[in-house]
Amino acid sequence: MGFRVFVREIEGRPQTQYTFHRIMSRVWLGCMVVTIPIVIFAPAFWAKIGILLVAEISYYANYATDTGAMAAANASTEDDITAYAVSVTASEKMNEEAVTEDPGKSGPLDGN
């Protein structure tokens, strides 16, 4: 998977976002464990690296918020708002066609 495809998946596909954030939440937990000994035993090093860490966390939080908002906007309509929207898979199209072919059958949202 190329970088461009990866970025598009993060920006337009909730499953990829979930996986990405699950991995990153574990990374941040690991950073929390490592940070405590560094602050206690190497305060001079922490003074230098702490600023970089805070900046990276801020960038990640902003990126995560923006990609979530873009995915919500894409999911709120049937039309693709941006080129980043992930297209419907073939199996989803087949399921949609099966529901629309026979209007007499009960669909999943009919309540029957």
- Amino acid making up residue 75: A
pTM of the model: 0.50
φ, ψ at 19 (rounded to 5°): -60, -45
pLDDT of 45 higher than 70? yes
pLDDT tops 60 at residue 98: no
Q: Which two tokens stand for residue 35?
A: 């940070």
Of 56, 81, 78, nearest to 70 by C-alpha is: 81
Confidence of residue 61 (pLDDT cuts 50, 70, 90): confident
Q: Which sign, positive or negative, has the C-alpha torsion 101, 104, 106, 109?
A: positive
The average pLDDT across 10-36 equals 82
> Is 34 strand, coil or helix?
helix
**Alpha carbons 89 and 79: distance in angstroms, whole number:** 15
- pLDDT band at 9; cut points 50, 70, 90: confident
When pLDDT is averaged across residues 9-22 and rounded to a whole number, the result is 78
